Amino acid sequence: MRIGHMTIEMNAEQIEKVLQGIKIPPQPQILVDIQMEQIMPNPDITQIARLIRRDVGLAGTILKVVNSPFYGIKSHITSIEQAVALLGLTSVVNIVNGISIKGSMSDAQITELTKFWDTTSDVASIAASIARKVGYHSPDEAYLLGLFHNCGIPLMMLRYPNYKDLQIRAYADPHKRITEWENEQIQTNHAVVGYYTGRAWNLPAELCQIIAEHHRVDAEYFTEESGPHQRKALTAILKTAEHLAGNHLKLGNQTEDHEWDRIHEAVLELLGLSSYDLDEMTDSLGDSGLI
């Protein structure tokens, strides 16, 4: 099947085999209720706040996010209603989506995947920050992509006991793409699984396509004239956020980001950023405790 300008060569039988034994995280009732409220002609923000108040963990996370440095709110927010109103409906749904994946796993599995959860949260926040800096029209969209770009990883870890070791070896290779390593060893990869997970969660089609391709892009992808510019820009934001969040170090145990080395000049040019801008963002993110 075609995904954007690239092809994922999987027929129905292969897809079924890939997903065999992998439980796509179901949307919990609170997410369903929030989404149902979202699609109403006039969503009731008060009702959404009531739904969030029913879950202590979700309420705590909403307050943590709204009080983070990225929103720049001087007074500490303690009201769920005020937090939801300030974050807005789209951001709230994004946060609930991320927590819902965590909630489908046991405590032991969550402990095993601590590095993964940390990176997704960091990449999401950093992607939204970059989107605002470069004038991308929807920081919320960048946040959502950052949150879900590697959503196939926990499913791969649950399915393949040696997946973490494979991931480290893939990140260590300066020439071969990470997903190529996975394809050779286990005949699928986390980007493909992430794509189908995104579809199961009813994520926007554009984001699902980027999830599928995010380890297959090269410098030419960002410089060629063909292809939708918006998708390239959003992908460039994601790749920059991955690098700044240190995915290569946290997920791959590597001090060198080989993937970034291959594409960074084209990515920064597309976003209109300089090396100085990147250093400035690194310092700012360090001060905020994200990296």
| SS percent in the chain: helix, strand, coil, step 5 | 70, 0, 30
Burial profile 86-121: b = 16 or more Cβ within 10 angstroms, e = fewer: bbebebbbbbbbbbbbbbebeeeeeeebeebbebbb
Q: At a CB cut-off of 8 Å and minimum separation 6, what does 119 contact?
A: 150, 245, 246, 247, 250, 251
The pLDDT of residue 274 is: 93
Domain boundaries of the chain, sorted by first residue: 2-25+107-288, 27-103
7 φ, ψ (degrees, to nearest 5):
-125, 130
The pLDDT of residue 124 is: 86
Which amino acid makes up residue 101? I
- Whole-angstrom Cα distance, residue 146 to residue 176? 23
The pLDDT of residue 9 is: 39
* pTM for this predicted structure: 0.70
Structure tokens at 229: 């510019």
Burial profile 188-216: b = 16 or more Cβ within 10 angstroms, e = fewer: bbbbbbbbbbbeebebeeebbbbbbbbbb
Q: At a CB cut-off of 8 Å and minimum separation 6, what does 57 contact?
A: 99, 103
Q: At a CB cut-off of 8 Å and minimum separation 6, what does 140 contact?
A: 88, 90, 91, 94, 128
Q: For residue 172, give the nearest of 278, 247, 111, 258 by alpha carbon.
A: 258
- Tokens 């390593």, located at residue: 181
pLDDT in tens, the chain (291 residues): 333 433 333 444 544 454 454 444 434 467 678 777 877 888 888 888 888 877 655 676 777 777 776 666 777 787 778 888 888 877 777 777 666 655 565 666 666 666 777 788 789 889 999 999 999 998 888 988 888 899 888 888 878 888 989 999 999 999 999 999 999 999 999 999 989 877 766 577 899 999 999 999 999 999 887 667 899 999 999 999 999 999 999 999 999 999 999 999 999 999 999 999 999 988 887 777 767
The pLDDT of residue 24 is: 42
Q: At a CB cut-off of 8 Å and minimum separation 6, what does 37 contact?
A: 43, 44, 47, 48, 51
The pLDDT of residue 111 is: 62
- Tokens 């989107």, located at residue: 131
- Whole-angstrom Cα distance, residue 103 to residue 8? 30
What's the fold here for domain 2-25+107-288?
Hypothetical protein af1432 (1.10.3210)
Please report which helix (H) or strand (E) contains residue 46, including its range.
Answer: helix 45-53
CA-based Rg of the chain, rounded to a whole angstrom? 19
